[in-house]
Amino acid sequence: MNMPHGSLAERDYNAGEDDDSMDVKGTDRRIYQNAIYNGVCSPVLDGLLYLGSDTVARDYDKLKESGITHIINCAAGYSPDYHADKGLKYLSYHLKDHVRENIECCFYECIEFIEQARKEGGRVYVHCVQGISRSTTICLCYMIKTQKIGMQEGLDMIRKIRAIANPNMTFMGQLIWFHKRLYGSSFDSIPVSPRVFLVCSHQPEDPFKVACKLQMDNLYIQ
Q: Which residues are catalytic?
A: 128
Radius of gyration (C-alpha) of the chain in whole angstroms? 18
What kind and span of H or E run contains 65? helix 60-65
Residue 75 gets which letter from DSSP? B
DSSP 156-209: HHHHHH-TT----HHHHHHHHHHHHHHH-S-STTS-SGGG-EEEEEEETTEEEE
**Cα 203 to Cα 194: distance, rounded to the nearest angstrom:** 19
Rounded to 10 deg, the angle between the 169-183 and 151-161 helix axes is: 130
**Cα 131 to Cα 39: distance, rounded to the nearest angstrom:** 10
Instruction: Determine the Cα angle at 73 with ends 70 and 44, to 5°.
Output: 65
Phi-psi group of 127: left, alpha or beta (phi > 0 → left; psi -120 to 50 → alpha; rest → beta): beta
